[in-house]
Chain A
Amino acid sequence: MTVSRDNSKMVYEGIKAAGIRYLSAMPETWLVYLLQLAEDDPEMTLVEVAKEEEAIGIAAGAYFAGTPNALLMQNHGFLASINGIVSLALLYRIPLLMLIAHRGHIGEPYPWHTQGGILTEPVLRGLGLPFDYVRDPHKAAKQIREAQTFALSSLSPVALLLTRELMED
């Protein structure tokens, strides 16, 4: 498997088109090109965290500051962030735009990703978080913009799951 450079670029362009200039992220394989694009982009500030839950706090600070921002993480990082999502974002009604690499689902050859992959959607549902799958790179920009719109209108975290179809060639 190889990570799709072209599709990563289209997702990144969607992030930029949504006016996002601040990303908090934990590096992971599927996000490698996205993060490289962010690093190389003088218009973008990229904050790399030590663990994903930090990014919930950082994103909340950026939101309070009025900066359009997004989070990039693997689904296992999302699972590791749940207390921050529940007891900061949901409790205080803080919108988050979370772009989550959906590792460990159909097609996944690596056993270590599978449990997190299987549980991602049920956990999102359990938390009552709106989410959508991003499969088609041509629709990514629109989905990012609409997820951002909904996060801001609902004052809720919203997740976009970046699928294998999108992220791998």
Chain B
Amino acid sequence: MKRADCIKALYPELHDRLVVTIMGACAQELYDLGHCDNFFYLEHAMGLASSIGLGLAMNLPYEKVVVLDGDGSVLMNLGGLATLARYRPPNLTHIIFDNGSLLSTGGFASHTTAGITDLAAIARGAGCPKVSLVTELYQFLEAAADAFEGGEMATIVAKVEAVGPDHYGMDLKLPENAFIFERYIKQRKQARQQVAGNK
């Protein structure tokens, strides 16, 4: 299973969700499908994508938040899994693409290679309420559909091949991405308040 295929299959479901990605290949593969104002690419600060997702989900209970994470990033913030488990906002879906590789920084094997470290087991042990481990695209889509139904914070560990795009680059400056993302959320909130006011 390739991460790019997972993201492509997921893409139609992302248009009205707040999406936070990690750096490198994952961000690029989403961007290449077509950037949307509700996508935020964390191009550095490895490990914090899921923390951003937590802050978003807790403060915007009516929005649905999706974090596209990776094994290298999660390994940098394992404590964050415990924090997610503790506060477990039901509107948060945490997808961890586990390619067993620090692909975007030279392709060195990560601790998950060859099944040495089991991120799904760590997430379960951290107390994350709904954890699935998937290795095939149809399983990934089933798990994602189940997660998107909400009700409970979901963690999906998707085993993928260590392959990425053949190019990197976005026509999007990093602060611009943050400004547009914040404005998108603000406008959704205002529209929502207006609807509530008209009722």
Contact = CB atoms under 8 A, between A and B. Distances in A.
| A interacts with B | yes
Contacts of A60: 48, 51-52, 55
Interface residues of A, number: 33
A114 B175 CA distance: 36
Contacts of A17: none
Give the one of B55, B77, B83 with max A CB within 10 A: B55
A64 B48 contact: no
Given A65-B60, A84-B45, A87-B45, A50 B55 contact: no
Given A50-B82, A56-B51, A61-B51, A92 B178 contact: yes
Interface stretch (A2-10, A41-49, A135-143): A41-49
A24 B87 CA distance: 12
A64 B40 contact: yes
Interface string A81-94: 00110111001111
Give the one of B52, B57, B79, B181 with max A CB within 10 A: B52
A54 interface: yes
Contact of B177 (A65, A87, A92): A92
Given A54-B47, A61-B57, 14 more contacts: A47-B83, A48-B83, A53-B48, A54-B51, A56-B45, A57-B50, A57-B51, A61-B20, A61-B59, A64-B185, A65-B56, A65-B60, A83-B44, A94-B178
Interface of B: 20, 40, 42-45, 47-60, 77, 79-80, 82-83, 86-87, 174-175, 177-179, 181-182, 185-186, 189
Interface of A: 22, 24, 45, 47-51, 53-67, 69, 83-84, 86-88, 91-94
